[in-house]
Amino acid sequence: MRPLLLALAGILTITATLAACSSDDADSLSLEDAVGQMLLIGFRGEILDDEVEALLKEIAPGAVILFDYDGPSGGEQVRNVVSPEQLQALTASLQETSELPLLIAIDAEGGFVNRLKEQYGFEVQLPSHLTLGAGTPSQTASLAGASAQQLSDLGINWNLAPVVDVNVFPESPAIGYWERSFSDDPALVAEHAAAFARAHHEQGVVSTLKHFPGHGSAVGDTHLGVTDVTDSFIREAELAPYRTLIEDGYDDVVMTAHVVNRHLDPSARPATLSRPIVTDLLRGELGFGGVILSDDMQMGAILEEYSLETAAIEAIKAGVDVILIANQNTYDIDHVRRIKAAIIAAVEQGEISRQRIDESVARILALKRKYGLID
């Protein structure tokens, strides 16, 4: 009986959220512009040059992501962060160029995952999640608030943090090793993540819980290849932070992981492409009504098994709202064009319904409205 009640509660949450989003907003967009809103893209350049401006006008993405280091070139190519003054000018130029206001994202977790380094002139340096987790939630709120204010002052309105992975395996090559988890105690993870997210909300910055349904037990790294957590995943513990935060009203963004978990989806699809994990579990059982973001679709865990086009289509069919193409594992702007064209073709051919697209766009526009980006 309880699973049925949870499922019904999830459906009611989703229905209410979509009603509040005003689907008329999504309906008013062309298919091309609607799909554009579902893309979060990375690009090279510390200024908005003609090439990048033309790309943004062509793709019309709903969001962009900024980095300080260009992975594909090993740092030889300039990315997006040089100094506070340069970054502030870049974000202003991005917003001026976009027809609809952009969500401008960055990874500002703290510690090792920090794009706004002291060497570039940024004053606020947030400790790692592990360090924050050793303190009190009020200390986390204070430090995260200072970081969020710095982001807001720079024109960045979306932080791809906090990490709510439970530190099941402290040597996990993508999480524990880099001190990206608050704690091995799910309750502490939830408390610190709530403080972190609340501090960002107060500064007008969107937060992101990641990596759903849980990456903390992984012995592999999804950046590099297929990572199976079937035998290491602790269901109640690793879902607990999401359950607690969502029950307390969290409705910004959740990022999916590319991990395989056959207990949650016997088909062994990565979570990002799994309807049982994204829609049935996150939307249904846990009742999440906000925006669902994929992890980077150019990561090894996806590209080892799927084409970019297939992965993007399957992610949307699974229930993902925003597709991340960071251009950090490989740099190819044509990947963005290919993914957008594939999604449009899938709608035109009936593989994805226009209603499914509009559901995602309604959630994205509702998030932008919530944070004052659109009226």
Catalytic positions are: 223, 295
- Which of left, alpha, beta for 75 (phi over 0: left; psi -120 to 50: alpha)? left
Kindly report each contact of residues 331-336 with a partner whose C-beta sits within 8 Å and lies 24 or more positions away, as own/partner.
331/44, 331/70, 331/71, 331/72, 331/73, 331/77, 333/43, 333/55, 335/298, 335/308, 336/39, 336/41, 336/55, 336/59, 336/61
Residue located via tokens 């401006």: 53
Map residue 159 onto helix, strand or coil: strand
Distances 8 to 157, 235, 281, 285 between C-alpha atoms, Å: 33, 21, 12, 8
Tokens linked to 191: 């408390």
Burial profile 277-306: b = 16 or more Cβ within 10 angstroms, e = fewer: bbbbbbbbebbbbbbbbbbbbbbbbbeebb
Residues 6+ apart with CB under 8 A from 370: none
Tokens linked to 345: 């073709």
DSSP tally for the chain: helices H, then strands E: 14, 10
Tokens linked to 223: 């950046």
Map residue 347 onto helix, strand or coil: helix
Q: What are phi and psi of 255, to 5 degrees?
A: -95, 135
